[in-house]
Structure 1
Amino acid sequence: KTVNLRIQAMNKYLDCMGKSRLRLKSVKVQQRSYLENVISNADYVFLKNKLKKEENQEWYFVVRFLAATGARVSELIQMKVEHVQMGYFDIYTKGGKIRRIYIPKALRKEATEWLGKVNRTTGYLFLNRFGERITTRGIAQQLKNYALKYGLNEKVVYPHSFRHRFAKNFLEKFNDISLLADLMGHESIETTRIYLRRSSAEQQEIVDKVITW
């Protein structure tokens, strides 16, 4: 889809320059029948428990907030201590619409205790070692480091993977795809339908278990 957007822009430019004969054809989008590179619930639980056991509070909460709110990493870094106190974070989307990211009660309680211990009452929630707001790249790299440290598949330990996990877990516990689309900020419910599919690892597990003939 991203490639096609670039091609579309190039074609508009070529039209403008009077070189329409050089127009590029769009690429056919191949829809997969499975979700790729989604962290399993077991690996998510393993990772958060490891971080908690080692008292690595900040990164424990990075993982928890990604998986329990469904926030994009670009949204996560905008969250503030005040949002934890309110229990939600409002994002203004491109179309001028407001999307509300809810912070679940259990996570709010836990995060409030952590913030109280480190004496933080205001400002961005996740900071780097210089006390400045952490970057999306910083989060992605550090998650990769923890994957290597704990022997997890680094291909499934990246920020967006936890957003996928949120969606999968939500549908398993509350099967309302329309509500999930709203929570995730999807323009179309068709985008959300992919979460009704199983990951390639889940498909493999079912095939191995079911097919015995």
Structure 2
Amino acid sequence: METQERLRRIDPARLTAFQAELLRKEYSVGTAENYLRAVRAFARWSGGEVERGLVLTWKAQLTARYAPATVNAMLAGINRFFAFMGWPECKVKALRLQRRSFREAERELDREEYRTLVRTARTLGRERLALVMETICATGIRVGEVPYITVEAHRRGKAVVALKGKVRTILLPEKLCKKLLKYVKRQKITSGEVFLTGGGKRLSRVQIWAEMKRLCCAVGVAADKVFPHNLRHLFARTFYRACQDVVKLADILGHSSIETTRIYLLTTGTEHLRRLERLGLLC
């Protein structure tokens, strides 16, 4: 047992092999990055050593420092790595989360704040960022799906997204298609991806996230609210209020489970309290 424990180490070669396995199994780029980030964080903390006692101590420290959902995301990464390495005895249980009945209002991006972000981006001459935000918010796509917005897609009025072993069609609103058409003409993009860097490379999820964060300083919107996935949440809430069809919304968002979609539709604590007040159950 002692010899086996000495062999359990996290090194660059094993991380590279783990990354290759995630790509082979067609994990999304975002999920693979999150798993690798978690494994690297644990390796830095443990000095590369892997032993169940160390994993449990790390879990306890994470629990004291981060939100439960963040802890579970990090544990998912190292547990997947341990499974890949054939070290199941090192895996630890995720935290049990109580099902939430409302979300934190301070992290919810509302429609007016979104519009302010877009307007400010254009005022500052950041047309690409403005259009990326509009594209995510008007279609509900994930930030990792932005590369599927191509010249060919906006000409057809729809994008075919193939990720996580699933294929779905995203309809692009006519107004958005017109904006994309004007943009690609100005940028002299005749085919392929619409959103590219100045050097003609793919605009990464990290770049989009960073540009949105920098925009906060000029806008005055809380940085905790400004990140790409919150645009997807705003789309989901707006769509549901318009049609009240959670099944259709789940299809559009690419969710396999309606339970996942439900998380997007939670009301804020303020709204929840307002509903409780209206019950009239206090004498």
TM-score, normalised to structure 2's length?
0.64
Q: Following the alignment from structure 2 to structure 1, what is the Cα–Cα distance between the partners of residues 184 and 270? A: 37
For the pair 1:150 / 2:230, whether they are aligned, the reply is no
Whichever residue aligns with residue 2 of structure 1, its letter is: A
Q: Which has the larger radius of gyration?
A: 2
For the pair 1:175 / 2:281, whether they are aligned, the reply is no
Contact preservation (8 Å) 1:38, 1:162: no
> Is the deviation greater in 157-166 or in 100-109?
100-109
Note the 1:33-72 alignment, pairs <5 A: 33-36=101-104, 37-72=107-142
Unpaired segments of 5 or more residues in structure 2? 1-71
- Residue in structure 1 matched with residue 188 of structure 2 by the alignment: 119
Alpha-carbon spacing, 1:23–1:168, altered in 2? closer, same or farther (3 Å): closer
For the pair 1:132 / 2:196, whether they are aligned, the reply is no
Whichever residue aligns with residue 156 of structure 2, its letter is: M
Unpaired segments of 5 or more residues in structure 1? none
Alpha-carbon spacing, 1:127–1:11, altered in 2? closer, same or farther (3 Å): closer
Q: Following the alignment from structure 1 to structure 2, what is the Cα–Cα distance between the partners of residues 148 and 201? A: 27
Q: Following the alignment from structure 2 to structure 1, what is the Cα–Cα distance between the partners of residues 185 and 84? A: 55
- Residue in structure 2 matched with residue 198 of structure 1 by the alignment: 267
Of the three residues 170, 173, 186, the one matched with 1:104 is 173
Name the SS for the 1:146 alignment partner. helix
Alpha-carbon spacing, 1:55–1:7, altered in 2? closer, same or farther (3 Å): closer
Query: Percent of aligned pairs with the same residue?
Result: 29
- Residue in structure 2 matched with residue 31 of structure 1 by the alignment: 99
Alpha-carbon spacing, 1:178–1:58, altered in 2? closer, same or farther (3 Å): same
Alpha-carbon spacing, 1:74–1:50, altered in 2? closer, same or farther (3 Å): same
The answer to which structure, 1 or 2, has the higher relative contact order (CA under 8 A, 6+ apart) is 1
Cα displacement (A) at 1:78: 3.7
- Residue in structure 1 matched with residue 151 of structure 2 by the alignment: 81
Contact preservation (8 Å) 2:161, 2:168: yes
Cα displacement (A) at 1:34: 2.1
RMSD, aligned α-carbons: 2.8
Q: Following the alignment from structure 1 to structure 2, what is the Cα–Cα distance between the partners of residues 187 and 179? A: 12
- Residue in structure 1 matched with residue 67 of structure 2 by the alignment: none
The structure where helix makes up a greater share of residues is: 2
Q: Following the alignment from structure 1 to structure 2, what is the Cα–Cα distance between the partners of residues 128 and 12? A: 37
Cα displacement (A) at 1:141: 0.4
Cα displacement (A) at 1:57: 2.0
